[in-house]
């Protein structure tokens, strides 16, 4: 059991948009249901964490400079990336390369914004958005400081990635060469599925080097040339799936490794 004791609760629970809600071993959750398709969200309460990776973390990149970040407001984040089923009932088509029950992919940052705008237009109280990069890593880590929320190493029984290219000289494991169903593998200690692997996930932020000082509620740079992606994918090496790893692409870029996860704004 992953008993999570909340000390800071959301201002409203359940919110008006919730079709069902509750509390379990991972914490508080709420869900909305649209045309028979359900999406659950998990509550992440305010807190401080070390964003980025320590200098002794194997296979780290230079743009991961570790720095303290405080999130003064709690937030709701989806327990899975947006699925093909949800995308289909909202948008009316399915751009995915790997058709099935998995996450929608072949999604650009602009595509994700279009989806969010349409959902909020239908039900404004949802206040959907992409998570900030800081929110994403905070949620991914779920209180951990190791390279992965699952510990110091991963394999294909835990994460859908290129298991033929393991992290830090780990044991080789299965390379599926495609996405899997959104809840096919274990969740982290906050009840969030596949924050590592399966599809890379867009964040709200423009990409740039991290500041060196501690930050409070960072929103990322005001302008930029590319947007941040996190989490790694079914096709990426183990090192790319680390909690601290950062990718960036132009907001129009899409391919079959890229999807997105919803958050709820305040």
For 40-77, the pLDDT digits (tens) are 999 999 999 999 999 999 999 999 999 999 999 999 99
Distance in angstroms (rounded) separating the CA atoms of residues 34 and 221: 34
Per-residue pLDDT for 1 more than 60? no
Say what the pLDDT of residue 212 is. 83
Per-residue pLDDT for 84 more than 80? yes
Say what the pLDDT of residue 5 is. 66
Mean pLDDT of all residues in 91-103? 96
For 186-212, the pLDDT digits (tens) are 999 999 999 999 999 999 999 999 988
Q: Which two tokens stand for residue 192?
A: 């969030």
Output b/e per residue, 70-89; b: 16+ Cβ within 10 A. ebeebbbbbbbbbbbbbbbe
For 215-252, the pLDDT digits (tens) are 999 999 999 999 999 999 999 999 999 999 999 999 99
- 13 φ, ψ to 5°? -150, 120
User: Are residues 132 and 77 in contact, defined by beta-carbon separation less than 8 angstroms?
Assistant: no
Domains and CATH numbers, the chain: 20-264 (3.90.1580.10)
Say what the pLDDT of residue 266 is. 63
């Amino acid at each position: 059991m992953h008993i999570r004791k909340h000390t800071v609760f959301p201002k409203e629970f359940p919110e008006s948009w919730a079709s069902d809600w509750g509390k379990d071993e991972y914490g508080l959750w709420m869900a909305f249901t649209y045309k028979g398709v359900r999406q659950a969200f998990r509550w992440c309460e305010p807190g401080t964490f070390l964003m980025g990776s320590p200098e002794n973390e194997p296979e780290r990149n230079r743009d991961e400079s570790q720095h303290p970040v405080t999130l003064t407001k709690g937030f709701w984040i989806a327990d899975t990336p947006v699925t093909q089923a949800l995308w289909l009932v909202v948008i009316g088509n399915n751009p995915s390369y790997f058709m099935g029950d998995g996450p929608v992919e072949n999604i650009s940052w602009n595509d994700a914004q279009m989806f969010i705008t349409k959902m909020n237009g239908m039900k404004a109280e949802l206040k959907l958005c992409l998570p900030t990069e800081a929110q994403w890593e905070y949620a991914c880590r779920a209180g951990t400081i190791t390279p992965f929320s699952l510990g110091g190493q991963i394999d294909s029984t835990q994460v859908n990635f290129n298991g033929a290219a393991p992290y830090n000289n780990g044991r080789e494991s299965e390379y599926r060469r495609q996405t899997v169903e959104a809840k096919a593998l274990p969740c982290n200690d906050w009840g969030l599925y596949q924050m590592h692997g399966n599809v890379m996930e867009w964040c709200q932020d423009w990409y740039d080097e991290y500041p060196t000082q501690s930050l409070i509620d960072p929103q990322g740079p005001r302008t930029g040339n590319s947007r941040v992606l996190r989490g790694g994918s079914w096709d990426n090496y183990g090192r790319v799936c680390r909690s601290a790893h950062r990718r960036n692409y132009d907001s129009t870029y899409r391919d079959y490794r890229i999807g997105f996860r919803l958050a709820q704004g305040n």
